[in-house]
Structure formats: C-alpha cells, structure tokens
Amino acid sequence: MTDPIQIKTSLREWVETATHRAMRDQARYVKSLGFSMPQFFLLMRVYYRKQCGISDLSEHMEITAAAASQTVDKLVQGGFLERTEDPNDRRAKQVTLSPKGLDLIERGFAERFRWVDEMERNLSDEDRRKVGEALAILAEASREDD
Amino acid sequence: MTDPIQIKTSLREWVETATHRAMRDQARYVKSLGFSMPQFFLLMRVYYRKQCGISDLSEHMEITAAAASQTVDKLVQGGFLERTEDPNDRRAKQVTLSPKGLDLIERGFAERFRWVDEMERNLSDEDRRKVGEALAILAEASREDD
DNA sequence: GCATATATTTAAGTCTACTTAAATAAAAAG
DNA sequence: CTTTTTATTTAAGTAGACTTAAATATATGC
C-alpha cells in the first residue's frame, strides 16, 4: 500500500506539518502572553533542563552571559523564574521555573497540542493501534543525546 | 502491546520531540545565516504561500503593514525576495522568493530534517512498512484548513 | 596564601524591529 | 467624476534585546 521508498518523504512531510503548526501556535501564544520569543525560549530551556545556570542559558541561546542574566532577571521579577545560589559553587546561580512559570509552559503545550488531540480523537480503534505501534518504533529510533 | 489509552500521550510526546528539535536546529540555522527570527518567519510565510502581498504578511505576523513593508524591503535588497506589482490591483504588491531565497529555505529544511533522515535510515523494512502505514493515517487525519 | 580563572551582575550604549502619522497612488462606491 | 476606502511606503521616533567593559565575589592552581 505504501511504497517503502516514499517513507522518507512522508516522514519529512509529517514532521514539517507538525513543526509548522506547533511553531505558529506557539508564536501566537507567546505573543498573547506578552512575552518576547527570547524570553519564551529561555523559559523553555529551563523547563527542559528543570534547573540550569546562567552560563548554560548563555551557551544554549548563543548570547552573552550578561544578556542571559538580564533576561533571567526580568523573568524573576515577573515571578516566572526562581533564582537561587548554587550550594556547590556559590558563584553560580540555579534557575528554575516558579509554579507560575511552569503553569504557563504547560498551558502553552495544551495550546500547541490542541490539533494533535483533535486529530487523535478522530482515529478509529484500528488506526489508533497502528499509529501507536509506529510511534513506539519512532520513539525508539529517535533516542539520542541532546 | 500498546495501550490505546496511551496513544494520546505518545502522539504528544512525538510531536513535542519533533518540534523541539526542529525549532532548535532552525534557530541555529537562522542565526548562522545572520537573519533575525522575524525575517526568517516572513521568508517561511512567503515559502508556504508561494506568493503573497504585504497585507497578508502583516496579518499573519501580527505586525503593522508598515513593519511588513520594511522587513520585505530589507529582504528584497538582500536578494532573497522579489517584489512586483499585482497586475490585478496595482496598489498591491506580490512578494515571492527569489532563487537565492528559495535555496536558503530548502537548505534550512535539509538542516532541520537531518535527524529525521538519520532515524529513517536505521529502521528495518518491517518497521518502515508500519511507520509508512501510520503516517498515511495521520496525514489523512490532519487534513485541515490553514 | 596569592595569583589566576570562573560565574554572574551592573552600567552604558548600540542596533533593529516595531510603532504611529503622514504621503502616495489606485480601486471602489456613489 | 468626486469621494471614500484600500494597499503600500516613508519618516521619525520608541522599546527592548543585545553588546562590551568594568565590578564583585567565589573557586582553583601553584
């Protein structure tokens, strides 16, 4: 039914669709909240890392430590991040999401995943089974280091 | 093997993984090229639309027409976009990607899809078949209006 | 312990994406 | 044909994310 040669293309198309929608929805969500993209990307980095220092944010976002420090500071003042001293190295800071910040990110996910959930609801049990199987395969294949 | 109840979660996780990687890689690519995110998003919009006017860009990006006009102008000067008069309405402009601009976007896709292609290469024929089937189901389920 | 290296912050200034307001020009309405 | 609306551009100015440079404080190496 599906030509094996076409898998690469359809995988790309699928990833492309998902990415395009997610980015569009995310951009709208960020804007509606009054955040800038850099601010939101920083929050997302903290979300994925659970906890990280200014240096990590600086490297990851490819900006100076000064810039990272300033952005963090704004988000701390807004109550979205918490900044504490690293007990192992008192020069360093540990940045984490506040409950308010976490809630914000999670609402963002809900927003980004609305169309996914919608799509999922419209699948038959048989389709659901097939898709589930394929997702397990893909999840396994995509284990990688960040 | 796969609990139907878990499909929603694993679908979300998969979309999340794909989106996260794609955004990260895209952000790096954009930066390496010296573009700003707004500039790149505008190029992407033109790419998806093939052709569009200033008003469309303005609405889609939620900025004023003046801002859209200015950004387009920079990209035209850089040789990434072409701006011509709309023959049906001489007030309006038609913006399209130049060959240089299209090449840039397509290289960006290659960059964003490197990990997808890599993953695909490591699938067995049987897995490939299953994934292909699931992708067809998802592609069908996600037909939607933009 | 002293010199050096590292992590972050603060201050000052730059750059640019954005805005509003006004100008231009063509289409649509009457 | 005149008036009004629509599409875009230009000019001037604002805001904020970024930079460099200097300050502060802690950790590490000899």
Residue B22: other Cβ atoms inside 10 A: 23
Residues from chain A that touch B120, judged by Cβ atoms under 8 A, are 7-8, 11
| Separation between Cα atoms, residue B105 and residue A76, nearest integer Å | 36
Q: Which of A9-23, A64-78, B92-106 has the lowest mean pLDDT?
A: A9-23
Which residue is closest to D25 in terms of CA–C1' distance? A91
Hey, are the CB atoms on A134 and B136 less than 8 Å from each other?
A: no
Where residue B85 sits, what CATH number does that domain have?
Answer: 1.10.10.10
The mean per-residue pLDDT over the stretch A19-31 comes to: 89
Q: Strand, coil or helix: what is B89? A: strand
pTM, two decimals, is 0.89
- Is 50 exceeded by the pLDDT of residue A132? yes
Report how far residue B73's alpha carbon sits from residue A85's, in angstroms, rounded to the nearest whole number.
47
Mean pLDDT, residues B20-28: 89
CB atoms within 10 A of CB A124: 10
Does residue B1 register a pLDDT over 60?
no
pLDDT of residue A144: 56
**What's the pLDDT score for residue B77?**
96
Three-state DSSP class for residue B87: coil
DSSP codes of every residue in A73-114: HHHHHTTSEEEEEETTEEEEEEEEE-HHHHHHHHHHHHHHTH
Residue A4, pLDDT > 70, answer no
Q: Verify whether the Cβ–Cβ distance A123 to B129 is below 8 Å.
A: no
Residue A73 domain boundaries: 4-112
Q: What is the pLDDT of residues B115-136, one digit of tens each?
A: 899 999 889 999 999 999 999 9
* Closest Cβ opposite residue A37 in set B1, B37, B62: B37
Report which listed range, A13-22, A74-83, B102-111, B114-123, is most confident: A74-83
Q: Is residue B52 part of a domain?
A: yes
B18 contacts A18? CB cut-off 8 A: yes
pLDDT of residue A83: 98
pLDDT at A66 over 50: yes
Decide if A120 is inside a domain: no
Return the pLDDT at B144.
56
Return the residue of B nearest to A146 by Cα: B21
Do the Cβ atoms of A137 and B123 come within 8 Å? yes
Total domains, chain B? 1
The answer to whether B16 and A48 have CB atoms below 8 angstroms apart is no
Whole-number Cα distances in Å, B32 to B25, B36, B104? 11, 10, 12
- Is residue A124 helix, strand or coil? coil
Q: Would residue A132 count as lying in a domain?
A: no
**pLDDT band (50, 70, 90) for residue B88:** very high
CA neighbours closer than 13 Å in the CB half-sphere of residue B72: 26
In this prediction, residue A145 carries a pLDDT of: 40
**Residue A109 CB neighbour total at 10 angstroms:** 16
Q: Does residue A137 lie in a domain region? A: no
| pLDDT band per the 50, 70, 90 thresholds, residue B85 | very high
pLDDT of the residue at B142:
82
What would you report as the CA-atom Rg of chain A, rounded to the nearest whole angstrom? 19
Within a domain: B16: yes
C-alpha A7/C-alpha B121 separation (Å) is: 10
Q: Is residue A135 part of a domain?
A: no
**Within 13 Å, how many C-alpha atoms sit on residue B77's CB side?**
7
The C1' atom of C12 and the CA atom of B124 lie apart, in whole Å, by 59
Is residue B131, in this structure, part of any structural domain at all?
no
The span from the CA of B48 to the CA of A91, in Å, is 48
Report the alpha-carbon distance of residue B135 to residue B128 in Å, rounded.
10
Contact A71, A38 (CB under 8 A): yes
- pLDDT digit string, tens, across residues A84-93: 999 999 999 9
Of the candidates A11, A112, A113, the beta carbon closest to that of B116 is on: A11
Task: With respect to residue A72, please indicate whether it lies within any of the assigned structural domains.
Answer: yes
Higher per-residue confidence, A83 vs B13: A83
Residue A146's Cβ-side half-sphere holds a number of Cα atoms within 13 Å equal to: 9
Give the distance from residue B133's alpha carbon to the nearest chain A alpha carbon, in angstroms: 6
Q: Which residues of the protein have their beta carbon within 7 Å of strand D? A: A 36, 38-39, 61-64, 66-67, 70-71, 74, 89-91; B 53-56, 58, 65-66, 69-70, 72-73, 83, 86, 89, 91-93
Q: Is 90 exceeded by the pLDDT of residue A1?
A: no
Q: Kindly calculate the radius of gyration of chain B based on its CA atoms and give it in whole angstroms.
A: 19
Helices (H), chain A: 7-33, 37-49, 54-61, 65-77, 99-112, 114-121, 125-141
pLDDT range class, residue A40, cuts 50, 70, 90: very high
> What's the pLDDT band for B2 if we cut at 50, 70, 90?
low
> How confident is the model at residue B23, as a pLDDT?
87
| Res B145: pLDDT | 40
Tell me what the mean pLDDT of segment A51-79 comes to.
Answer: 97
Pick from A94-103, A121-130, A132-141 the range whose average pLDDT is largest: A94-103
Q: Which nucleotides of D are covered by protein (CB under 7 A)?
A: 6-11, 16-22, 25-28
Q: Which residues of A touch B5 (CB under 8 A)?
A: none
- Please answer whether residues A79 and A104 qualify as being in contact, where contact means their C-beta atoms are separated by less than 8 angstroms: no
Nearest to B19 among A12, A19, A130 (CB): A19
